[in-house]
Amino acid sequence: MARNYDNLNHSLFASGEGRGKNPPMNYLAHSLLAGTTDPLFLAGNLVADAVKGKAALVALPERLQEGIRYHRLVDRETDEHLVFRRTCARFAAPYRRFGGVLTDVFYDHVLARDWDQWSAVSFAEHTSCVADCLEEAMPWLPASFAPIAERIRSGVFFARYATRDGVAISLERMAARMARPTPLAAAIEELDRLDADLTADFGEFFPKLRTKLPPIVQRGG
């Protein structure tokens, strides 16, 4: 959800899926907050970070643009939220410099693990719906997003976040993409240490975020 909390993170990733470059985080939360099965709107909520510049945005179908703008609104509300910032500050050195990234990842973990608390739709049904929406929207999505879209459509991408081992794998892959060595892969220790605090923070943050977001205008057809 957060993109701009710690600009340091942007320069640390070598390429591909780093924070601000198709980041491998938050997609589950953004897909749930999209609150719709409208393929283009939902896809826009997932592809937003891969669409760079106004010219690229306005070239897309209007409903896809609306999804991208909604994603960016969610990011702004998240970056400014005191609970989110409190979570970022919980991480011990040397992980605190990655607080925004880790909060993104761990919040998606709590959401996936406790899914039934946050959605009346089953996890399997939701992931299937997201896959179908991405399939329909693929002709308009940037080529740079295609590998992530394929992983999401496989069903494994979201499911991985529900387990500690899955989060550990994600952190290891993120660390491997860093431009220089970091302790990010070992940050799974922070998930173990802060599990209760992270769960409580997310439980406070997510309902408040939902109430701040404007209602989504559903489109037929």
**Residues 82, 58: Cα–Cα separation, whole Å:** 33
Is the model more confident about 19 or about 120?
A: 120
Interval 107-111 mean pLDDT: 96
- The token duo for 81 is 């939220």
User: Could you count the other beta carbons within 10 Å of the beta carbon of residue 33?
Assistant: 21
Q: Is residue 218 part of a domain?
A: no
Residue 1 has a pLDDT of 65
Q: Is residue 116 part of a domain?
A: yes
Interval 28-52 mean pLDDT: 94
Q: How many domains does the chain have?
A: 1
Q: Is residue 46 part of a domain?
A: yes
Examine the pLDDT at 143 and tell me if it is beyond 50.
Answer: yes
Q: Is residue 2 part of a domain?
A: no
pLDDT in tens, 71-93: 999 999 999 999 999 999 999 98
Containing domain of residue 29, as a range? 8-212
Q: Is residue 1 part of a domain?
A: no
Instruction: Grade residue 2 by pLDDT with cuts at 50, 70 and 90.
Output: low
Q: Are 63 and 161 in contact (CB under 8 A)?
A: no
E strand residue ranges, 48-186: none
Examine the pLDDT at 218 and tell me if it is beyond 70.
Answer: no
Q: Is residue 219 part of a domain?
A: no
Examine the pLDDT at 24 and tell me if it is beyond 50.
Answer: no
Interval 64-72 mean pLDDT: 96
Of 129, 138, 103, the closest CA to residue 37 belongs to 129
Cis peptide leading into residue 94 (ω within 30°): yes
Q: Is residue 136 part of a domain?
A: yes
Instruction: Grade residue 15 by pLDDT with cuts at 50, 70 and 90.
Output: very low
Portion of the chain with pLDDT greater than 90, in percent: 74
Q: Is residue 220 part of a domain?
A: no
